[in-house]
């Protein structure tokens, strides 16, 4: 029997994906609306999932950060090819607290922390050497001490309004179930494939 709560179902499927996917079971496509109104999609990494939502982290001055500031409605897609499953999530992003962002930033590799200071994410880069020089400058700036979180780097939590679970089945007669938020609870329906 499958869990009737979308977060419990996701946790069960995610645990299987972590055990079986070769790379990045936590990779998810994040779809936003561009500043010009066109859809934009890219892969980001899920860093936490709780009943509050799905969290990821990024540079707020990046294209996606600017898009999220203008329109917080997003879509997520997890595709676990080896399991022949996918999960779609529709919802609204909310910025995580400063303390949550600080805590997660402190767990990152030091080079990744330095890169957050060095990169003007999504902006033109004249050559790779420029980025490497900026990382080296950040390393000199912070030395052997801890690297603080840049003020333009934080996290977002996608609070879902809809979660769809898709399981591949023979002859394209797939299983699909959609959970939609109904106040504080969820209701689910099956969909034709």
Is the pLDDT at 106 greater than 90, yes or no? yes
- The C-alpha atoms of residue 42 and residue 59 are separated, in whole angstroms, by 14
Is the pLDDT at 2 greater than 70, yes or no? no
- The C-alpha atoms of residue 178 and residue 54 are separated, in whole angstroms, by 17
Q: How far is CA 83 from the centre of its chain?
A: 20
Q: Which pLDDT value is given to residue 1? A: 58
Burial class (CB within 10 angstroms; exposed 0-12, middle 13-18, buried 19+) of 181: middle
Polymer length in residues for the chain:
193
Residue 90 has a CB neighbour count (10 Å cut-off) of 17
* Residue pLDDT, tens place only, 68-88: 999 999 999 999 999 999 999
| pTM of the predicted protein model | 0.93
* Residue pLDDT, tens place only, 37-50: 999 999 999 999 99
Query: Is 108 a known active-site residue?
Result: no
Is the pLDDT at 146 greater than 70, yes or no? yes
Question: Which of the residues 123, 128, 140, 172 is marked catalytic?
Answer: 172
Tokens of 121: 């994410």
Read off the DSSP letter of residue 142: H
Percent of the chain with pLDDT over 90: 95
Closest CA to 45 of 55, 53, 33: 55
- The torsion defined by the Cα of 124, 128, 130 and 131, in degrees rounded to 10, comes to 80
| Domains of the chain, first to last | 6-190 (2.30.110.10)
* Residue pLDDT, tens place only, 93-103: 999 999 999 99
- Residue 182 to residues 5, 24, 160, 186, 188, Cα–Cα distance (Å): 12, 32, 11, 5, 10
């Amino acid at each position: 029997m499958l869990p009737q709560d979308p977060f419990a179902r996701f946790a069960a499927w995610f645990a299987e994906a972590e055990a079986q996917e070769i790379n990045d079971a936590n990779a998810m496509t994040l779809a936003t609306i561009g500043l010009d109104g066109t859809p934009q999609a890219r892969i980001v990494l899920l860093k936490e999932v709780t009943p509050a939502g799905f969290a990821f982290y990024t540079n707020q001055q990046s294209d996606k950060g600017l898009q999220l500031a203008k329109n917080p409605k997003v879509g997520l897609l997890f595709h676990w090819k080896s399991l022949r499953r996918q999960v779609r999530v529709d919802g609204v992003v909310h910025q995580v607290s400063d303390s949550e962002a600080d805590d997660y930033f402190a767990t990152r590799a030091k080079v990744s922390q330095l890169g957050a200071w060095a990169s003007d994410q999504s902006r033109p880069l004249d050559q790779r050497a420029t980025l490497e020089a900026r990382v080296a400058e950040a390393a000199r700036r912070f030395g052997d001490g801890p690297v603080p979180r840049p003020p333009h780097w934080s996290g977002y939590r996608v609070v879902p309004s809809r979660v769809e679970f898709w399981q591949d089945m023979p002859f394209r007669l797939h299983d699909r179930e959609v959970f939609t938020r109904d106040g504080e609870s969820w209701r689910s329906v099956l969909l034709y494939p």
